[in-house]
Every structure is written in structure tokens, then in C-alpha cells.
Chains A and B, each alone.
With several copies, the nearest count.
Chain A
Amino acid sequence: MPVMNYIQALNSALNNAMEEDERVVVFGEDVGRMGGVFRVTDGLQKRFGEKRCFDTPLCEQGIVGSAIGMAIGGLRPVAEIQFMDYILPAYDQIANELATLRYRSGGQYAAPVVVRTPCCGGIHGGHYHSQSTEAIFTSVPGIHVVMPSDPYDAKGLLISAIRSEDPVLFLEPKKLYRSAKAEVPESPYEVPIGKAKRLREGEHVTVIAWGVMVKVCEKAVDAVAEKGIRCDLIDLRTLTPLDEEAVLSSVEKTGRVVIVHEARRNTGYGAELAALIAERALLSLEAPIRRVTGFDVHCPFTLDPYFLPDPPRVALAIEETARF
């Protein structure tokens, strides 16, 4: 099996999807001629033509709005937003329109649109190239939200997303684009939406993360393991619908939880996880639920390394939780 980085895995998924279903169209800013500023769509226009892979005008509300219309017109749109920071002008089209179409039409219409976007920080990008605003999407029913943390999952989940009858917000931590590598089959396969993955197993603390923070937590978990603290490390992969079973069964076992995310603490998705646990597994808890998150400021440029949780900060939180 070839080794691919995250970008190559996504590119492979798009190639597969466009081969197997001619309704699939791929578009966004700089996506066609150039193959995307991160080159995720590299070669697609050349291979499948300008009607299947194309550049759009610079307008996110137009990209998502037209994607909805294309889906209604029988296509399978895979739209790219160049950075997650720039998805906000399309928020209305996503939350009020895309996510509601099936419901508000009484099931007559649906828009199986995939919106892909590079997210998260850690690249000294400042506020406008660092955000992970997944929580403003998990509060919206009708759209799935996924954020794979490795190339294998990225390809499998993207195939699942494109084949899904429901809209999917597909979040790609750009910091992993070139750094994450894995064996990835050339042929299409699905990783199911809605299923978490356990990356480490242990009985002391449950550590929950997604995206880049999975890598950070791997390091932290391995570091505390040397001190005899064994953790369940859960990579959620999908945020909506949440794999509640994976979360709750682990917490019932360990009684201790550390939730790690890049987004700011206030009303981040970690809050939902903590609330779920405090509602459904409270009696198992032997320590306060810890959240290790970005600070409640706008991600800065120079001081970016302070903003994001890093392995030592996570390891400390795990240790404190284990020792509590």
C-alpha cells in the first residue's frame, strides 16, 4: 500500500469519487487551474475537465449557495472554502439553508453537499488563518461535522461524505497536510461517519481529542505513560453525530476525563462533551472534567505558541487529573 500524506489521501479520494460518480463536481477559489492553494485538488481539472473541477469567483456565500443549487439540480458538489476562517460569510447558507433543506421541505428536497475546508492553527497564521470554529456547526442539526486526524481516515471519511445523502462539513487540519503520513489504499473505501477511534488504551484517564490535538495528545499520553499513567485516547473523528458510546464507555471505565481542543474554551465543542459526561456518566466521575483548550482570545500571530495546547500542557492536565 502506498504511503500518502494527508493532501495526497484527499486527492486520491477525490479522484476515486469523480471516477465512480460523474455527478461529483469539485470547486472553490483557486481549486481548478491551480489545484488549490494547498494542492488538494491538484490534477482534477486536467483529468476531469472544467465542468467537473473549476474555479469560482471569490465569494463564500456564493460557493455554498450555488453548491446547494447544484445539488438540487442533481450534482454532487464538493465545495472548498480556502480557509475555515473564511467560511463565516457562508454561515447563513450552511446553517439556515443547507442544513435545513431536507427538514423544511418535508423530506422532498435534500442537498448532499460536502464543504471541505482547511482548519485549525499552529502555523503562525494569526486569527485569520488559525480558527477551528467547529462548535458553531455542531450546534446545527442536519449537517454532519467530521475532522479526521490522519490520512487513512481522511480518505475514507471523504469518500463516505461524498457518498452520503446528507450534507457534510469536512474539516482538514492544515497543519497535518504534509506532516501526517500513513498507508492509504489507492482504491476507494469508506470510514464510517459517526464512529470514534481509540488510539491508546488505558484504565486511568480518558483523553478525548480531534484533529491536530490528537497528535498532541498522543505525545502527552505517551509521556505520562512513562510515569505509569495509562490513558484511553479517543480520536472523535466525527463530531456530529457524536459516538456517545465510545466516550461514555471509556469514562465509565476510567472515571477521569481530559478533553483537548484547539478552539477557545468558551462554548467550544469540549463543553458539549463535558456536559454529556456530567449528565450521563456523573456517578463514574472521580475527578473534575478537565478541558485543555485555546485561551479565550483571538489567536495571535507572534504569541501563537502560547495559544494552543501543547504536549506538556496536556500531560500536566492528565497528571493532575490522574492524581486528583
Chain B
Amino acid sequence: MTAVQPLQLLSPEGGASVEPPEGLDPERLLSLYRNMVRLRVFDRRALNLQRQGRINFYAPASGQEAAMIGSAAALEPQDVAYPTYRESGVCLQRGMSLRTMADQLFGNARDLVKGRQMPNHWSSREHNIVSISSCIATQIPQAAGTGMAQRFRGENAATICYFGDGATSEGDFHAGLNFAGVFRANTVFFCQNNQWAITVPVTRQTAAPSIAIKASAYGFEGIRIDGNDLLVVYKTVREALEKARSGGGPTLIEALTYRMGPHSTSDDPRRYRTEQEVETWRRRDPIERLQRYLEARGWIDAEQVERIAAEAKEEVDRAISEAEAVGPPEPETLFEDVYARPTPQLERERRELLDLIRRGVVSRVTHTPIRGS
């Protein structure tokens, strides 16, 4: 059992002669490039916000832009996505506005999840982005279930389930892939093997030579791809989704990529990995790779590159300052959405809290959470 070489269309060195896969014309490629850039800017700004003490947590996507944007670009609007906390790029590519994304980081009154969850837990029913749980791998059997529902109901829709290399060790991974195999769910399992689960390298996560090989335990195909190659990501995911929608059953895709930044703002990766390793992956940067390709094909020029970067900065800055200006949700929202309708107990607790606030016993929350709070 030796590790298979990942599929690749665009090598780090260039690959100007490669034709883009079906579905990616120059215009579309340019828009994906733009989103990758916006994503990286958003990521940097969010990390800075945390360092400046303006938000209390962030988990960055840098290095994984091609995997996120490429896979999300392959989705049709009716497809359901189950992201993890790292999939800012999936939210962006599915059409969530930067403003809505920033609202979530602040947990403000306009946040779609009502300030109920930590930063990075975006969700938008409108965009078919299911609520994220911080628990690793719990979404995997859920995504199998949604794919089962799509199959049972004969829908022309599929489900994509995101997770990391670490998640493959959880019992829920096994449960989800096994159910999907048995019921031929319309689910595509998209693993971003970014080499690390916080401080644990993937080689300590499993003795298997790849993540993709694990599909053989469930009776369907596993494909290993270069996750920093937008073209191969898009093509592979698109084909797997089409197969799923047409009743061909699930696919496991292992996208080899790298978490360039820390696991989260609570982490310092210099404690457990070498600068050399990081450098190796820096040379495989997904954005630069795509940019080189677009340049080589003559689909982008230096001026455009600069404009895209400048626009991205401006958009992200505006989104953040707008989000930061919004205050926290109202206290009574604490008791909403526990059930469809509040129970008598919750009604009483709501009255109790409002009364305590009115009497000045409990002080009103006036800020969104900041670092160290």
C-alpha cells in the first residue's frame, strides 16, 4: 500500500498549455481568482482584528483557497454544503456577502446566527450553507443523511461535506461514509488534508498511506487530488457532484493542501513544525499558481491583478467597519430558538433576566466579544 500521486492539472511551475476544464471559461476563472484574493485579504484582516483585540478568535483559510473556492464553485445553488469552521471560502464563493461574514465574526445583532456561535461558524439557509458545529466530524453522518434524502426524494441535487484530515479519525467519519455507501447517498465527501490537526501531523492520525484509500472500506471511489490546483479541484468535485446527482452514489475526495497559518489565533505553529516545511508549501501557493496560469494564458494582466487586490482590500475594510459598528443582540434573544416556541420555563427565565437587568443586578451586554473577554 503506497501513497498514490495526487491528480493534478496545473503544476506549481505553470502549465500554460493546460486547457481549463468544462465549466471554467476565462471570465469564470477570473471571478474565482478574485474570490481567492478577497478570501486571503479577509483572512489577513480577521487575524489582525483578533491581534488588535477587536474580535476574540479566528481560524484562517490561507493556503487552502483553491480547495475551498474550487470546490464551492462546482456546486449548483440547490446543492447543500456542510462546511467546517475553516470554510470561509465556501461561504464567500456561495455568495455570502463579506459584510454578513464579518457580522458573524463580531457576533453582532445582525449576525445570521444571532451571535450564538464563535467566529467562523457561518451559516446561511439562503445559500444552502448548513450550520457549523465546532465538534469535529459530526457533520459527516448528517451530510450523508441529506444526501440520502436527496436520493430518496429523487432530487436533482447533491450534498458536499467538508472536513479535515483530523476528522477522518472520528467515529462519525466512519458512520457517515458507511451510511452513504450503503444508501448510495448523493453526497460528496471533500477532505482537505492540510497535513495538520492542530499540532498532530496526518502521519500520526492514521497509518493508511492516504485518506482517499479509506473509501475502499465503504465501497465507493476515493480520489486524491492536488488541492492547491484550482482546476483539478473544480473538475473533480464537479464530476463527483454530477455523479451523485444522477444516482451514481458518493465519492471521497482527498485534496492535498496546507494550512499556511496557525490552526487558529490560539495557536503558534512554530512550536511544532519547521519553517522549511512551510516554505515548501509556500512555493505551491494556490493563488500565485492560478495567477501565473491566467497571466500565461493572457487572461489577466498586472493592472488587473493590482485592481483586484485593491478592490478586495476596500471591500473587506468596508464590510468589517460596518459590522463592527453594530452592537450585540438584545438580551431576550437569549431565549429564542431553543424550541420553535418557548416553553413556559423559558418564558419565566426570560422575564427573570430582563428583570435582573432592569434592576441593575445584571449589567447589560454592550459589546461584541473582544480578545480575552
Task: Please give the residue numbers on chain A whose beta carbons come within 8 Å of chain B beta carbons, in ascending order.
Answer: 25, 29-30, 33-34, 37, 51-52, 55-62, 64-75, 77, 85-86, 89, 92-93, 96-97, 100-110, 124-129, 141-142, 144, 164-166, 194, 240-242, 244, 266, 295-298, 300-307, 310, 312-313, 316
Contacts and interface: CB of A to CB of B under 8 A. Distances in A.
A295 B131 contact: no
Contacts of A296: 338, 345-346, 349
B337 interface: yes
Nearest to B56: A124
Interface string B57-95: 000000000000000000000001000000000000000
A312 B114 contact: no
Contact of A25 (B152, B197, B328): B152
Contact of A128 (B111, B134, B334): B134
A104 B206 CA distance: 32
Given A103-B116, A306-B334, A66 B345 contact: no
9 contacts: A55-B199, A60-B170, A71-B145, A73-B159, A93-B172, A104-B133, A106-B114, A109-B130, A241-B344
B117 A57 contact: no
B146 A303 contact: no
Candidate in B148, B335, B369 with the most chain A CB atoms within 10 angstroms: B148
A65 B144 contact: yes
Interface string B113-138: 11111100101110000110111111
A93 B204 contact: no
A34 B272 contact: yes
A312 B338 contact: no
Candidate in A103, A109, A141, A241 with the most chain B CB atoms within 10 angstroms: A103
B118 A129 contact: yes
A25 to B, nearest CB: 7
Given A70-B145, A85-B134, A109-B123, A59 B365 contact: no
A295 B336 CA distance: 12
Contacts of B335: 295, 297
Closest 9 CB pairs of A and B: A69-B145, A65-B141, A73-B149, A302-B115, A62-B175, A128-B134, A66-B145, A105-B131, A57-B169
B343 A65 contact: no
A55 B204 contact: yes
Contact of B131 (A60, A104, A124, A164): A104
Contacts of A33: 199-200, 272
Contact of A74 (B121, B141, B149): B149
A62 B146 contact: no
A262 B360 CA distance: 21
A158 to B, nearest CB: 18
A310 B362 contact: yes
Contact of A68 (B145, B267, B353): B145
Nearest to A303: B334
Contacts of A307: 334
Interface stretch (B43-51, B176-184, B246-254): B176-184
Contacts of B147: 69, 73
B149 A75 contact: yes
B331 interface: yes
A208 B369 CA distance: 30
B373 interface: yes
Contacts of B4: none
A59 B142 contact: no
Contacts of A64: 141
B329 interface: yes
Nearest to B327: A302
A25 B271 CA distance: 23
Contacts of B265: none
B333 interface: yes
A66 B141 contact: yes
A104 B149 contact: no
Contact of B115 (A60, A73, A85, A301): A301
A30 B349 contact: no
A302 B369 contact: yes
A73 B150 contact: yes
B140 interface: yes
Interface in B181-227: 182, 197-200, 204-206
B121 A241 contact: no
Given A58-B170, A68-B145, A37 B339 contact: no
Nearest to B369: A124
A240 B342 CA distance: 12
A129 B369 CA distance: 14
Nearest to B145: A69
Contacts of B179: 56-57, 59, 62, 65-66
Given A58-B170, A301-B117, 8 more contacts: A59-B174, A65-B140, A89-B135, A97-B138, A102-B340, A104-B117, A108-B123, A312-B361
Nearest to A126: B118
A297 B56 CA distance: 22
Nearest to A141: B338
Contact of B107 (A77, A85, A301): A301
Contact of A30 (B117, B134, B141, B199): B199
Contact of A300 (B116, B135, B353): B116
Nearest to B166: A58
B117 A126 contact: yes
